[in-house]
Chains A and B, each alone.
Chain A
Amino acid sequence: AQKVTQAQTEISVVEKEDVTLDCVYETRDTTYYLFWYKQPPSGELVFLIRRNSFDEQNEISGRYSWNFQKSTSSFNFTITASQVVDSAVYFCALKGSRETSGSRLTFGEGTQLTVNP
């Protein structure tokens, strides 16, 4: 069975602070895919990043960066110099192989990030 844990239910920071959202996953698959989505108050899930299990290289996109560590089964997301517009619920998700998990995308319960001015 697959599982994604986002231990931080809510995080509140002041604008310009850096913030890291934690994601820990469990899977028996050797090939799998990890995702981060952002859900602003409007409700639509916005895709942020996808990472394959065989590519542990960290990624940076503007103020966003992701740290993938297979040794600790973690895929953490850092926002540098946070802004009010970053306020949203962020979901980490896992997709395993089609044989073991079908087409399921397993979501964590999300982290509500509030950035205060």
Chain B
Amino acid sequence: DGGITQSPKYLFRKEGQNVTLSCEQNLNHDAMYWYRQDPGQGLRLIYYSQIVNDFQKGDIAEGYSVSREKKESFPLTVTSAQKNPTAFYLCASSLTSGADTQYFGPGTRLTVL
């Protein structure tokens, strides 16, 4: 089945630790995105990648880092510099970064203990 997978579904982290969230797609999409969702709010863009080996900061990139070494994969690292990392993280992809529809993965819920 084609789609976007995110792992793990739930993640717990101690303060001061870095943690990496996985996002994989087999849709042959060029563009991938990471969003953050806080309770009762809409989604905010963290980072996006239009093509392999390229990525740009979104609106709330501070405290996060990404890589795009393979077309299928776009992992997100939440670093200890992120002041309030507890949130729901959603990965998306689209055929290109232009007008194409973004499709979303199931999300990872990160809780900092």
B-contacting residues of A (Cβ < 8 Å)?
Answer: 4, 9, 33, 35, 37, 42-47, 50, 52, 91, 95, 98, 102-105, 107-110
B66 at the interface (CB under 8 A from A): no
Residues of B in contact, count (CB < 8 Å): 27
Known: A104-B45, A110-B42. A42 touches B99 (CB 8 A): no
Beta-carbon contact of B103 and A98 below 8 Å: no
A-contacting residues of B (Cβ < 8 Å)?
Answer: 31, 33, 40-45, 48, 50, 56, 58-59, 88, 90, 92, 97-99, 101-107, 109
Beta-carbon contact of B56 and A44 below 8 Å: no
What total count of A-B pairs have CB within 8 Å? 60
Tell me, in angstroms, the Cα distance from A65 to B98 when the chains sit together. 25
Q: Within 8 Å CB of A45, what residues of B?
A: 43, 90, 92, 104
